[in-house]
Amino acid sequence: EMPAPPARLGLCAACHGERGRAQIPGAPNLAGQKLDYLREALKQYRDGRRDVALMKAAIGPVSDAELDQLAQWYSAQTPVAASQP
């Protein structure tokens, strides 16, 4: 069933929304994304293979366990079709 919202969700929600619907241009939807893909992407933002300063800064202080919680939260969200508001 739905995991509890992670403590640091607010950090991500500014751009990705609390339920994984992008809030700003350029940010991806995360709802229903594959968990293994989210984990790998986060790793690449952290180690710089994905060179996005904002993401590196955002996840810098976040523990691996919390990162995994955030990945699980977003993967568990129900995506909505783009056309809906």
Interaction site with a second copy (CB under 8 A): 22, 25-29, 31-37, 40-41, 44, 49-51, 75-76, 78-82
* Least gap, CB of 35 to a second copy (angstroms): 8
Give whichever of 7 and 35 is closer to a second copy, judged by the CB atom.
35
Give whichever of 5 and 79 is closer to a second copy, judged by the CB atom.
79
Give whichever of 35 and 63 is closer to a second copy, judged by the CB atom.
35
Indicate the angle between helix axes 64-76 and 9-16, nearest 10 degrees. Answer: 50
Please count the other Cβ atoms lying within 10 Å of the Cβ belonging to residue 5. Answer: 14
* Least gap, CB of 71 to a second copy (angstroms): 12
* Least gap, CB of 5 to a second copy (angstroms): 17
Query: What DSSP string describes 12-30?
Result: HHHHH-TTS---STTPPP-
Instruction: Give which of 84, 6, 85, 71 is closest to 33, Cα–Cα.
Output: 71
